[in-house]
A and B are shown apart, each in its own frame.
Chain A
Amino acid sequence: MDRNQAMALYRQMLLIRRFEERCAQLYVEGKIGGFLHLYIGQEAVGVGAISQMRPDDYLIAYYRDHGYALARGADPRLLLAELCGKSTGISRGKGGSMHFYDVPAGNFGGDGIVGGHLPLAAGMGYGIRLRGTDQVCLCFFGDGAVNEGAFHEALNVSALWDLPVVYIIENNRYGMGTSIDRASSVKDLYTRASAYGVPRRDVNGMDILAVRSALGEAIERARKEKRPTLIEAETYRYRGHSMSDPGKYRTKEEVESMMKSDPILLFGRRLMEQERFTQADLDAIDKDVMAQMEDAVTFTEQSPDPTPESLYEDVYVRSPYIHLKTAEKDPAWRAAIREDRVPTQLPPWKPVTPASPGPAPAAQPAEAAASAGKVK
């Protein structure tokens, strides 16, 4: 991995962390509503996995979905605007936290039904096979999803028909408040792949390089051999299941001990040990990320609310096969008759303080990285 790529990965993880911290604040301030599931602690899984995707590959994920959109390059301004229910939001204020979609980036986002998107991932794999391309589909879900019937149906057909799908369990040990011990008869979730003859692997989900290595292998298998893989990434969420969850089902000691292997802290330390980055470099990245978040907050504050007319938009696709007179009498169809709208286009973020370009002198204690791992 070259220096720029390493820096980009570090920056993406930190951007997700800062994004989520800012979301928590905005939620407390009442600017974000509904359910808010934070990705803090799990950043290495999404960033590591998505870094191995090709631009034309697909991904589909569950409702703890902020990290995937950011890692796949979505603009945090559009995501924050979505969370605050603005018309400039990536889903035009129709989806919220659980429904970040970015179709131009191949991101079919945020599914709110546990396990509900796994058969869809198989369908995307089927479509790829039918078209005869060498794309792959990545499918992210939590440990809770493996107990749903949809998981088993999806794995079976993926193996049966040789579908290029990589299924990634983000095992953060709790399906809402129920620990794996109380939910799964088998504790090593990846072994469930054996039932369907699906290649399997477990990986330390706190180590971005380990995640990258596992995904590199699985994606290669999908692309070349058209075979699915089940990966279990062992990770941890620092916050509750959602903002309303105080997390009383686990001890403070457990959370604190897991935070010692924080993915951002670990990766930052590794970058410095390899003498490619200084503390100042990491600080500069953090400063830039914080500036980008503030910019996103400003953009969101200045964004308009959705118009009342938009209530009926986006239900149906305009169609020459619908009887026009009937369509005109139905508000949702009437809205569909109008032209498709152009999504909000924004200029890309320009870093305020670029990190130093060359190899750096000896490492300093990883304080900036350590603070990055801290839960506020």
Chain B
Amino acid sequence: MALLTMREALNAALKEEMTRDPNVFILGEEVGAYQGAYKVTQGLLAQFGEWRVRDTPIAEEAIAGVAVGAAFIGLRPIAEMMTFNFSLLALDMIVNHAAKYRYMSGGQIRCPMVMRGPSGAATQVAAQHSQGFESWYAHIPGLVVVMPSTPKDAKGLLKSAIRDDNPVIFMENEILYNLKGEVPEEEFHIPLGLGDIKREGKDITIVAWSRSVITSLAAAKTLAEQGVEAEVVDPRTLRPLDEDIIFDSVRKTGRCVVVEEGWRYAGFGGEIADRVQRECFDSLDAPVIRVTAADVPMPYAKILEKAYLPQPERVVEAAHQVLYR
């Protein structure tokens, strides 16, 4: 095991997969000479050259579209979005093209690409630069949506995402780039669609992904001090969803809280709550409670930003609610 940051783990996955397969290339804003806006692509240009590490103009539709077109003829592009906030300018390329050509062509076309970059809230960058869009992408049939929460998961899942023949939306998190964790030194990958128990517990199930896992683990620590053992379940992939790992946990605990950084309204947590109430109805001792971002655009002021985001205290509060404490 090596102790790596999320950033280093992602960089290692990119390097290994680009070395392994000459069809893999990366393109995006500042990925080359600048070494990546968040330094995830550091060192790649020197190693692989400009045709495989392509600096692009600020033109998200072209970045995503070039990736889709190249994928159609057998390459394995990785389109970096400087942040997923800007991916809205590329949404047509993903939703109407990457996700649909296979179906519309009756299975003739495949689109083995990855669109990756940081998503979710950053720090004091206000409404246009601090938002989570996983619910939007998870809504689209034809896509795979991945949101890792640890360096090990990030590396193992990115390697699978690059090798997979389907379009994968790989959402990282700016706040987590410096998070350190153990990463196996030997070759490994983590299957897409496989969840993970981040903390075992018998009293309550907390489902969370990406940065919300960190929030939930902090809440679980507080709950443990209060005598409540929370199980933190991280699906890691939102589409396809490993529902079994969630159901098994809820059947054991009988109580479920879903934590997400996205908005409550039509958010992905609603999908999980729906499946849990349908499949685990007889096991539930309380309604499923969701902890989400406030249903407003992200504010700038630090104090408002904190109020907007799910905090460990709010997760603890929700746990108390489902425990009727």
The yes or no answer to A319 lying at the interface (CB within 8 A) is yes
Contacts of B141 in A (CB 8 A): 315, 332
Contact bitstring A328-347, B, C-beta under 8 A = 1, else 0: 01101100000011010000
Is the beta-carbon distance between B65 and A122 smaller than 8 angstroms?
yes
With beta carbons under 8 angstroms apart, the residue of B69, B166, B240 that contacts A330 is B240
Contacts of B165 in A (CB 8 A): 317-319
Contact bitstring B28-70, A, C-beta under 8 A = 1, else 0: 0000000000000000000000011010110101101111111
Is the beta-carbon distance between B166 and A317 smaller than 8 angstroms?
yes
Q: In the complex, how many angstroms separate the beta carbon of B44 from the nearest chain A beta carbon?
A: 15
Q: How large is the interface on A (under 10, 10 to 19, 20 to 34, 35 or more residues)?
A: 35 or more
Is the beta-carbon distance between B70 and A108 smaller than 8 angstroms?
no
The yes or no answer to A322 lying at the interface (CB within 8 A) is yes
- Tell whether A113 pairs with B108 under 8 Å between CB atoms, given A153-B59, A157-B56: no
Is the beta-carbon distance between A323 and B106 smaller than 8 angstroms?
no
Contacts of B77 in A (CB 8 A): 123
Which residues of chain B have a CB within 8 Å of any CB of chain A? 25, 51-52, 54, 56-57, 59, 61-62, 64-75, 77, 92-93, 96-97, 101-110, 112, 141-142, 144, 160-161, 163-166, 189, 191-194, 237, 240-244
Q: In the complex, how many angstroms separate the beta carbon of B250 from the nearest chain A beta carbon?
A: 16
Contacts of B72 in A (CB 8 A): 108, 120, 123-124, 127
Is the beta-carbon distance between A153 and B191 smaller than 8 angstroms?
no
Q: List 15 A-B contacts (CB under 8 A).
A: A91-B104, A101-B101, A101-B109, A116-B92, A117-B97, A118-B65, A123-B67, A124-B72, A130-B25, A314-B106, A314-B107, A315-B142, A318-B165, A326-B242, A341-B107
Is the beta-carbon distance between A126 and B59 smaller than 8 angstroms?
no
Is the beta-carbon distance between B62 and A124 smaller than 8 angstroms?
no
Contact bitstring A90-125, B, C-beta under 8 A = 1, else 0: 111111000101110000111111001111111111
The yes or no answer to A313 lying at the interface (CB within 8 A) is yes
Is the beta-carbon distance between A317 and B110 smaller than 8 angstroms?
yes
Is the beta-carbon distance between B62 and A316 smaller than 8 angstroms?
no
In the complex, A60 Cα to B54 Cα: how many Å? 23
Q: In the complex, how many angstroms separate the beta carbon of A349 from the nearest chain B beta carbon?
A: 22
Is the beta-carbon distance between A322 and B61 smaller than 8 angstroms?
no
With beta carbons under 8 angstroms apart, the residue of A89, A131, A157, A330 that contacts B106 is A89
Q: Specify which of A113, A319, A329 lies most central, judged by the most chain B CB atoms within 10 Å of its CB.
A: A319
Contacts A122-B69, A127-B70, A340-B107 known; 16 new A-B pairs at CB < 8 A = A90-B106, A102-B108, A103-B109, A109-B105, A116-B65, A123-B69, A123-B70, A123-B77, A125-B69, A127-B72, A154-B62, A315-B102, A317-B112, A319-B164, A322-B191, A326-B242
With beta carbons under 8 angstroms apart, the residue of A58, A116, A128, A326 that contacts B241 is A326
With beta carbons under 8 angstroms apart, the residue of A89, A131, A157 that contacts B59 is A157
In the complex, A57 Cα to B68 Cα: how many Å? 18
The yes or no answer to A160 lying at the interface (CB within 8 A) is yes
- Tell whether A130 pairs with B75 under 8 Å between CB atoms, given A116-B96, A314-B107, A321-B192: yes
Contact bitstring A152-164, B, C-beta under 8 A = 1, else 0: 0110110011000
Is the beta-carbon distance between B61 and A156 smaller than 8 angstroms?
no
B93: nearest chain-A partner, CB-CB: A119
Q: In the complex, how many angstroms separate the beta carbon of B174 from the nearest chain A beta carbon?
A: 26
Is the beta-carbon distance between B66 and A116 smaller than 8 angstroms?
no
In the complex, A326 Cα to B75 Cα: how many Å? 27
- Secondary structure at the A interface, as helix, strand, loop or mixed, is mixed
Is the beta-carbon distance between A127 and B107 smaller than 8 angstroms?
no
- Complex interface residues of chain A between 56 and 98 (CB less than 8 A to chain B): 58, 60, 89-95
Contacts of A89 in B (CB 8 A): 106
B245: nearest chain-A partner, CB-CB: A326
The yes or no answer to A182 lying at the interface (CB within 8 A) is no
- Tell whether A122 pairs with B97 under 8 Å between CB atoms, given A101-B104, A314-B106, A321-B189: no
Contacts of B75 in A (CB 8 A): 127, 130-131
Is the beta-carbon distance between B57 and A160 smaller than 8 angstroms?
yes
Q: In the complex, how many angstroms separate the beta carbon of B130 from the nearest chain A beta carbon?
A: 25
A161: nearest chain-B partner, CB-CB: B54
Q: In the complex, how many angstroms separate the beta carbon of B199 from the nearest chain A beta carbon?
A: 21
In the complex, A245 Cα to B204 Cα: how many Å? 60
- Tell whether A99 pairs with B68 under 8 Å between CB atoms, given A116-B92, A124-B73, A317-B165: no
- Tell whether A333 pairs with B240 under 8 Å between CB atoms, given A124-B72, A153-B65: yes
Q: In the complex, how many angstroms separate the beta carbon of B260 from the nearest chain A beta carbon?
A: 20
- Tell whether A113 pairs with B242 under 8 Å between CB atoms, given A123-B66, A130-B75: no
Is the beta-carbon distance between B102 and A314 smaller than 8 angstroms?
yes
In the complex, A96 Cα to B109 Cα: how many Å? 16
Is the beta-carbon distance between A126 and B69 smaller than 8 angstroms?
yes
A123: nearest chain-B partner, CB-CB: B69
B103: nearest chain-A partner, CB-CB: A314
With beta carbons under 8 angstroms apart, the residue of B52, B74, B102, B194 that contacts A326 is B194
Is the beta-carbon distance between A119 and B240 smaller than 8 angstroms?
no
In the complex, A56 Cα to B96 Cα: how many Å? 26
Q: In the complex, how many angstroms separate the beta carbon of B285 from the nearest chain A beta carbon?
A: 25
- Tell whether A127 pairs with B102 under 8 Å between CB atoms, given A119-B93, A160-B57, A321-B192: no
